[in-house]
Structure 1
C-alpha cells in the first residue's frame, strides 16, 4: 500500500469555500475580494482562531452586509457539531464529531497537571474516517474506512477540545483514527495552520505512522521541528507482518533507514511506538532483540511502550504490569531511552476507534448513498 494507492486516497470533493484553515494573509485577500478593507481579514482571523466562533452569523464584529455576502457566496466556517462526549474518571474526554457528510470521527482530549499545577492539554486527532491498514490489534481498522479528512476537519478537532476544556491545547498528536501518511497533504496543511494560526509550537506536534513507503522522506523534506512517531510493535519483520499486515510492503530495514534519514534531516529524535500484546511481543528476549535493532540504528531514538487497550472481539490481551516493567527494564539496561504510556480513559472506550464502533453495529446510509436521513448518523463502513 502506497500513498498514491486508490484505495487509500478517497477524498470528498474539496470545497475551497471554508474559512477554517485559511491564513491571515488569505483572509485579508478574501476580505478585499468582497470589497472590504484588508483589516477585515485580520478580524476574521481573530474571530476564527481566537474567539473560536462557530458560525459566520456570529461574527458580530463584522458588518452584517459582509457576513451576508460571505454566506450568499457559499462560504462557511467549517466547524462541525459534537455528536457524543464521554468523560473518563481521570478527566480524559473522547469526542465523536459529526462531519458534514454525516460521518463520525473521534478525537481525544488528555489533560495532565504538572507538579506546579499547570495543565498540559493534548489533543489526539484523526486524519481519516476509519483506516484502510487494518492493524490486527486496532479498533479503528475493524470499523472500516471511508475517506481522508480535509484540512479544516483536522483543525476543528483541536478547537473542539479547547471548547470542551475551556483551556488552550498545548500538544497535538496525530494518533487518532487513520494513517496520517496516507493523507499527508491535508495533515501538512493542518499542521501549518495549527502552528501559525492556532499557535501551537511545532515541537509540540507529533505525526505518527505505521509506515507507508516514501512518505517519511517526503515529511523529512519539509524540515519540520515536529516529532515523528513510528508504530513499530515488533523487533523483527516476521512478527511485524503478523501484527501490521501493511508491513509486507515496507520492510523493517527500509523503514529504519528512512527514520535515520528523518533524524539526519531534522535533528529531531524519532519515537518508536510499541504496543505490548501479552504473549505475542512482550517477552524479555523480544526486548533484547528490539534493543539490538535500535543499537544498529544509531542515536536519536526513543521507545514508547503502550500496554494494549482491550477491544471487543480481539484475541489479544493486555500484559500484566510485571511483564511491562520487565520489558522496559530490559531496554533501559541496554541504554535505550524508554517510557511507558500511562493508559488514559479505560472507562471511556480508550483505544482509538472503540467509541465510534459502538455506533457501527448497524451501518447507516450516508449523504453519498443518496438516501440521507437527518434522524440518523452515518458511520464509516
Structure 2
C-alpha cells in the first residue's frame, strides 16, 4: 500500500485501512530539500499495530549515514530482517551498492554498482561469499567515439549475453553483437540506418544467413509513414507490422498484406473527431474488430478513456482515464455494465513539485497494484516500481535509477 500525505513539510507513506485493520507495508518517507526530493535524514519506517502485534513485512527504511544513503530493515519478532536491501554509498566519487548484513553474514544479492571509469559508466557487482559475482551486468564504454556494450568476466571467462552495441557507421546508428566463445553472435539485434532520407531496419547475419526476425522498417511513402517487413528466406514476412499513414489530416493504422491477404491484428488507428483523439480498429474479414482499443477524448477540458463498441456493446477493458483534479493528474476507470471498474489504474499527482502514484479504489476498497512513483532526486528523475498483492503478501520488485 502506498498512500502519500504531507506532514511537517515531509512526505510520509501511510497505508489505508482494509477490513477495519491498519495495514502499513512498504512505507517510504521523503521530503523536499533544495527543490529536490530526498529521503529525510535519519528517517525510519515504523510499522503500526495490527492485531496488537507489531508487523514488519517488506519494510524499507532509508536513513543517511555518514552522508551516504543506506537501507535498513526493521525488526520483526525481535530479529533483524534484511531482505532485498539495496544500500547506495559513494566511494571515491563512484556509486556502489552494498547489502546489509543478515545473520551476521554479508549478503550481496541483485546488487548493481555503477561507477565512472575513464569517463565511461560501468557496472560492477559486489562480492558474495568471497567470490566475484557478475550476473546480468551490462557495461557501456566508448570506443573510438562509439558506444559499445561489453559483459564483465565471470569465473575467468568473458560472458557476452544479450549485449547490444551501438556504433555510428557512415552517420547511421547500427547495432552489433559482441563475440562469445570466439563466435559472432547476432541475436535480437536491430539495425537502424538511413536510406534515401528514410529510416529502415535491417537484421544482421547469423551463421552466414540473413536473419530477419521481428524487424520493423519504417519508410516514408507519399508523405506518409508506413511499416514494411524485410524478406526472410526469399519470402515476404509481415508479422505484427504497424503502418501509420495520414488520411484527411488524421492518423490511421493499416496492416500490410501477408499471403496476399489483408491482415489486421493488434492494429491501432488514431484519428481526430471533433477535436478529440479517438482510436478505431480496422476491419478484418468484413467485420469490425475492437480489441485492446484505447480511445482518449476530451470532456469538459479533462482527458477520459472510452472504449469503442464491439457487437453493439460498450467494452471497457484495460481502460485508463486521466483527468485533472485540483491541478493534479488522477486516474479514473470508466464504467462497464453499469458498474465502476478500477483495474490497473495508475493515478499520478503532483506533490511539492514532484510526481507520485496513487491507486484508485475498487468496490469501496483501496487497491494498490503495479504503482509507479516518480520523484526527482538531485535534479534527476527516479522511478520506483512497486508490485503489490492484496492477499497478505507484498512484493517489492525493483528500483530503477
Decide which structure has greater strand share.
2
Greater Rg over alpha carbons, structure: 2
Instruction: Give the TM bin, normalised by the shorter chain.
Output: under 0.3
What TM-score does the superposition give when structure 1 sets the normalisation length? 0.27
- Using structure 2 for the length normalisation, give the TM-score: 0.26
Structure with greater contact order relative to length (CA < 8 Å, sep ≥ 6) = 1
